[in-house]
Chains A and B, each alone.
Chain A
Amino acid sequence: MVIHRRSVLAGAAALAATRAHAQGGGAPIRIGLLHDLSGPFAGAGSVPLSVGAEIAIELFNERGGAGGRMIQPVAADSQSRAEVAINEAERLIGQENVDVVMGVYSSAHAVPLAQRMQAAGKILWINSAIATAVLKGKHFTNVFRPTVHSDQYGEGSIAFLAEHCQRTTNIAPNAFKIGIIHEDGPYGVGVATALEENANKIGMPIALKEGYSATAPDLSTLVTKLRRARPDAILQVGYNPDITLFLRQAKAGGLRTRMVIGHGAGYSQIDRLAETFGKDINHFCNVDPAGTQMLDPAKLSSQARELQQILLARYRARTQATDAPTHASMGFNNSWIFLEHVLKPAVLEGGGSIDAIRRAALSVDIPVGGTIQGYGVKFNPPDHELAGQNARSLAVVMQFEDARAKVVWPTAIAGGPPVMPLPADNAFALR
């Protein structure tokens, strides 16, 4: 799959031009789409995230927009750099006159952006950046995040291991050693902290916990230290250059373990990982919101099922991808939640003002199964410690097999039990 930055920008421009000519019931509504279309994050999921958002806008406009008012996206490239993200957000709200900025891949960008958008009195709709620190204790009124937050990754990962380690490895949770390695930005630190806290709660020993820079040219010393610590499972939180570097050096460095668990971002780019490592990543797990194709359609509402099919068909048509990455689902789903369930009622009932958007967001009440990623939507109110966070978001544990992923936790919605420990023929399995 090849998605060029220029094709993304051209797609957004064409979409915007089409909307400008659309016959509608009023002036178009301009929305800023802020993604990393260049730089390291572009290839680590941000481009599929932006494509998903564009498909949602395209579909929303085809269905009549918000009371006849079409959406006119204004695309911006944050170039995988926080200072560029802030400058672009300033441009969007100051020069492009948008009231809503949507997207945001990286938590390192989301932390300052959330402060800035709140101060400017505009709406920030976060589709991907998951660090709990973005919202925790901030009591923002203008920042909303429908997707999961990093604490849920920690809960999911540790609960999954605790549930399955005794049965599959004959090691009790309080003796099952884990190694936590993470990139050192807000995303990596947030998830790693949640992993540590959840492990400590159940007495699961941590053999090693260590951060590293996502642009580090070498991680072989980290591999050596993991070999010395001998964890039963390695839990990595990283983007993409660092994940492939680590796995390559881990294999060359003779690192063996019973399970490897990723936590979104780079691990969600299954096709990329499979292209690089082939069957070596079979039976690795990944914690993330579910990609829509991984869910049993029977467990989704009829509207969600229909949207699921539209997204998958359009994403494949646009990108020639064999499978839509999780970030495409996130981009589409979370944008659709905003457009259909927040913006539309805000325009119809409140004229589309920022106050009306805020009220509409806090009124959203979608039950579990009502979105294409399976989770429901109910945003925490401003007095909540995690104000603006979707309280019904859900992280699942999925397991890879031949470049596909299936849900293996929570057990209630799992497609089957996990393969654990890694089978003996896996390059990373204990011999």
Chain B
Amino acid sequence: MSNSQTVALSTQALVAGYDPDLPIVRGVDFSIRSGELVIVLGPNGAGKSTFVKAIAGLVPIHSGATILGDFDITAVPTHEKIRHGLAFVPQTENIFATMSIHDNLLLAANVLPKEKRSRRVADLYAMFPDLAARPSLRAGQLSGGQRQMLAVARALIVEPSVLILDEPSAGLSPKIVQEVFAHLKAINETGVTIILVEQNVKAALAIADRAAILVEGQLRHEGPAATLAEDPIVAELYLGARHAGKAVTS
């Protein structure tokens, strides 16, 4: 859904990592337009997760900038970013497993004005009927797919302008992955800009507008998802040299 030319989020020469002397993300210039769904690909250790965690405020940024809309959020504390419209779903431990489904949603709704909280929780239950069926169930008892749905619901409750997900398909069966991605596509079609870090290339390219490929902490290649899916360079950069020359098929 790249129906707008407005930049929803961009990074400018972003350098980030836990150790300032050994940055993992090394000068990444990246941008995503409003309503787009962009998949971030790359081989293991390319810095994909670090890149999105740095945007979310979970990894120190050493230089460069992160701009959300027109607002520089580089130095904004992690807990404030969601108020500016940036929601992040980590790869693992992305729900509060000891709390009920309802408490997970109420907790996320706390950042909203009081009068909006109940309505948004009801909206999310309508969007994810599986969660509405057992609101008092402890979140730790949910299946892998349901956990991802709860994590996404938690992130969506604030009606973010940009939603970042770090490998939402990790550990899920192919059937559940299809369900999760179908939900993400539907969310994207409501106008939410989505950045998706994924290892499940085929499924992710099928729903993405564009793909960006990170290699060794640098943005090496980007382009429309449809053409990248057939591009041998994706196979070379993403799958490694032994797959060079083959298009992405898995």
Partners in one complex: no
Mark A residues whose CB is within 8 Å of B.
none
Mark B residues whose CB is within 8 Å of A.
none
